[in-house]
Every structure is written in C-alpha cells, then in structure tokens.
Chains A and B, each alone.
Chain A
Amino acid sequence: MPVTLKCHKGIGPAVTGTALVATDNFSARYDLDRVKGVFSRKAHRLYGQSYVGKILVLETAKGGVASAWMLREMAARGMAPLAILFDHANTILAQGAAFADLAMVDRFEKGRPSELIRTGDELRVEPAKGRVTVLNRDA
C-alpha cells in the first residue's frame, strides 16, 4: 500500500509526477528565472534547479502579488511546475493556481509536507479529494 497523505481540499486537476522538495518558501517574482525555468535567487535552497514539470513541495508563499498572474503565463509557455504543495499557501498563490488551473494543496494532517515527502518521490496529487499519494513508498 502506498503512503497516503490527507490535506485540505485544493485547487486544480489531479496530476502525477516527481517531487522537488525544500524547507524554503516560494514567490514566482522573487525566486524564479521564469524564462529559463530555474530558481534564480541565490539564497533559495533550490537555487539553480529546474522546476518545470515538477511537483514543488515548499513551506509557504511569500510577498508578491504578481505570482497570481505569473503561474498562468508560465503554464502558457510550458514552463510551469506541475503542482505546488505547501504547508500553508497564501491567498496570492491560491488565486494564481485557480487562474492557471494548476494543482495546489496545503494544510496536511500529519505535518509539514516538506518533512513527509522527499525529492524524487513519485506523487499522485488529487486536490478535489484533499489527498496526496506517495507512490514509491509503502505504508
């Protein structure tokens, strides 16, 4: 039986993909080179890494209203993450996910997702059910 993690009901479609995890926060404006598709702020724990097509697992969202537009713009160019999992989303990222129809969930029952999930884990994210399944690990 794969590990199932319960969370708050989220936004966007169900997706399956690979996790990229960090105990750090997220802002599309502050942290990303959206043209190259990599984290570009040197102080970020994922500096230099590509986020395109990955399921990002991070702590929370930071200041910056622009992310609400940017997720959709990134998705239109095929340069968006596949999904974003937060411990706590802020309003902007939730709004941005709704606008972009990007999968986003937060508020996990068992604690911080960055501690429950490891980089490289294969995840099934089901926002409408409030459920994330770690496919490569057994309970």
Chain B
Amino acid sequence: MLHGDAGPARQWAMRHQIAVGDFFDAPDFVPVSQAHIMADTESLGPSGVEWLERLVRQLGKDKGVVVPTITDPRGLDIATYKRLRQTEAMAAIEARASRAFEGLGVLMTNTCINYQTVLPAVRGEHLAMGDTGVAIYVNSVMGARSNFEGGPSALAAALTGRTPRYGYHLAGKRKGTRHFDVTDTPRDLADWGALGGVIGRASNSYWEVPVITGFDRTPNSDELKHLGTAMASFGSTALFHIPGLTPEANTLAEAFLGAAIPPATGIGRRDLERFYKAYAAKGAKVDVVVFGAPQLSLIELQHLAVLLDGRQVHRDTTLLVTTSPENKFAADRLGLTTRIEKAGGIVASGICFYQSYAREMAQANGWQRLLTNSAKLVNIIGGYGYRPSLATTERCVESAVAGKMR
C-alpha cells in the first residue's frame, strides 16, 4: 500500500497512518474491526469535500472501505433544515459529502450513539472511533480499544483495515492515573454531565485515566453517556474506570493495574453547584433549548415527550431535539415525535447541533441564549457566539415553556 501498488488513495492512507504512528512511537499496526468517521461539512469545508471526491475518483472501480465503516452526525437534516434557517448551499454541500462517502462504501448512520444503536463494541475489540464521546464510551464501559480517530485517520483506518498501535490500543496505557471519589451520586443527566465536566477539567489531558469511586447505585447507559461525553469534551479524556462496574476494573487495585493507588480527590454537591453556577442566568430570555450532544436515546425521547405533554413551547423560544436516524424512525413509529412536535418542539435526525453550522444558525435565527441539559454542549457552544446555560432536563423544559430561565 505504501508504495502505491494499491492505488493513490490507500497510499495516502498508509502515509498518513505512518506519520501519526511515528509521532506516538507506535511499534506496528493493529487490525480494526470497525471505523466511525466524523466528517460534518462545516469542519470539512469545501476543500475537504473536494478532497473526498478526489479520493472516490482515485479509487475508481476498486472497492472503498475494507472494514464496516459508519458516520458521526452530519451538518444538516434534510427534513428540518429549512425550519432551522439553514441554507440551500449547506444542503448542497452536505449532499455532495454524503454521495462521496457512499461512493467509498460507508454506511451513513449519522450518529454519535452507535454504541447504543448500531453495533455495541466488545471487550478487547480494536476500533477506530471518530467521536470523542463514542471513543470514551466504548473504551470505558465496553472495554474496547480505540484512540480518538479524527476524520482523516478514521477514513485511513477504513481504507487499510488497521491503525497504528499506540495510546489506548496498548494495555499499559489503560492504567488508571487519577482517583476521584464522588460523595453525591448525580441524579439528572445534566448532573452526570456536570460531574464529567469537573473530572475532565481536573484531569485535563488525553493521557490521564480517571478512576471514579463512590456511586451509591449503578448508572444506566444514558447516564454514563453524559458522564463520558462531558469528560471527553472538558478534559480530552478517552478512558475512565469505575471499579465494580466497568469491565477492566473489578476492584480499585485492578483499575491501577496493581500500582500504588493515588490519594482521592473528593467531588461533592458543591463542586457540581459551582460548575452550574458558571453558566447560570436566572430570569434571562431563552432563545433556544437544545437536547442533544450526545444524540438522545429512545428512553430520553420518551422522557421529553412526557414532560412536554399538554404544554406549549414559548413562541419566542425554539426547542430542538437531536437523535439518530434509527431512533427518529422509532420515535415516529411510537408517536414520540408527534408528541414533542405538538408541543412546539423540533425533532431532527442525524445531526447533533454543534456540528450543524451553529454560528450561522445563531445569526439567521437571532439566537444568543442557549439552554441545554448537555454539559458537553455548554462547553463547545461558547466559541460559536452563544451564551450557554446548563440545567436539568425538567428545568430546560420549564424554561422552554416560560421563554426564560427558570
């Protein structure tokens, strides 16, 4: 492949992987069983889409990806983009990017919760996962092995069927490095995200592996999803262990691979309150309430439908829900979409808000104050010109109905 015998596309992929592998002192490659590509058109830009189209032309009749390859959320949902005041130009470039990926044999799953909806990972499985929230979940909760694979690297892995063996593919790198002891088990999903944010900020490096103790019950998949995505967003964290819960740590000692256990950093209610306070804006007008980042499970969608039954979102506020295409079909079938949209909400499929031209949407819709139950989203969206606030799921709904922060 490196010498071009398999064509210029695979030669590019191999060169790219060697450059990255050398940077991280990878001794060799490891075969991967699946790749997941983040490639929304906002980050691709026109030059990225042209690059992809060239890759498809270079492959010609040669088949594209050699392992099952799926995609992260897109920049635009064709069913909702007009309601969100996204443009025809955005829709056109999105269609070009999708065509290019389909030309490579990529399945357009458009989801960041593939571990809940497409094909859950298995312990010890080597993967090339292209979303920080996906990578931390499959590493931590499922015991699979993946680094954060950015779009070009995940695509390279899809074309070569392997990835450089560095970072979290190596057993030794998966050892716990920090110990956090939680004194108040979070309740709402926003609390789980806030906890992930606090731990992520304290860890603050891709190479730190937090070990978390102190929960008084077993969190469910949605709670671990918010914990992990926030940790990955605030700390660039890719792996955590919860002794007695996650598969690589039956005990605290096992989480540190038998090495000395570092003193624990306590995290209590006050730490979470301080985290919320940084985003507080009680009484302020709310322009847009977003449930997404990560996309919602069917259980989350049902919870929202219940909270919105018989209510009406304020006419000066937009309530937007994002989920995967698979969950959207299910929500349609189960009547959840109708219930949320009857209350004035919008249920979008295959997008995740911040990957969806957030700055342009803010300008076109006159949005500034954004309220969400996603700690990950409040972390990201400030850079896009929003004033973000974080609240529990119920308070988000109450505020959407009132049109101002409750």
Contact = CB atoms under 8 A, between A and B. Distances in A.
Nearest to A89: B23
Interface string A72-114: 1100110000000000111110111011000010000000000
Contacts of B150: 65-69, 91-92, 95-96, 99
A64 interface: yes
Most interface-central of A11, A88, A98 (chain B CB within 10 A)? A98
Nearest to B233: A63
Nearest to A63: B233
Contacts of A123: none
A18 interface: no
A72 B130 CA distance: 17
> Chain A at the B interface: mostly helix, strand, loop or mixed?
mixed
A9 interface: yes
B131 interface: yes
A29 B23 contact: no
Given A72-B48, A73-B44, A65 B130 contact: yes
Nearest to B18: A98
B382 interface: yes
B380 A60 contact: no
Contacts of B151: 65-66, 68-69
B287 interface: no
B167 A65 contact: no
B291 interface: no
A63 B203 CA distance: 12
Interface in B126-164: 130-132, 147-153
B167 A63 contact: no
Contacts of A41: 382-383
Contacts of B380: 29-30, 64
Contacts, number: 134
Interface in A28-74: 29-33, 40-43, 60-70, 72-73
A116 B47 CA distance: 36
Contacts of B234: 62-63
B16 interface: yes
B382 A94 contact: no
A56 to B, nearest CB: 16
A41 B358 CA distance: 14
Nearest to B17: A98
A99 B17 CA distance: 10
Most interface-central of B132, B206, B354, B379 (chain A CB within 10 A)? B206
A43 B382 contact: yes
A90 B136 CA distance: 14
Interface string B50-70: 010000000000000000000
Most interface-central of A60, A64, A76 (chain B CB within 10 A)? A64
Contacts of A29: 43, 354, 380, 383
21 contacts: A9-B22, A10-B23, A30-B383, A31-B383, A60-B206, A61-B206, A61-B236, A62-B234, A62-B235, A62-B236, A63-B237, A64-B132, A65-B72, A69-B150, A69-B151, A69-B152, A72-B152, A91-B167, A94-B24, A95-B20, A99-B153
Given A69-B43, A90-B205, 9 more contacts: A40-B383, A69-B44, A70-B45, A73-B48, A90-B236, A91-B153, A95-B149, A95-B152, A98-B152
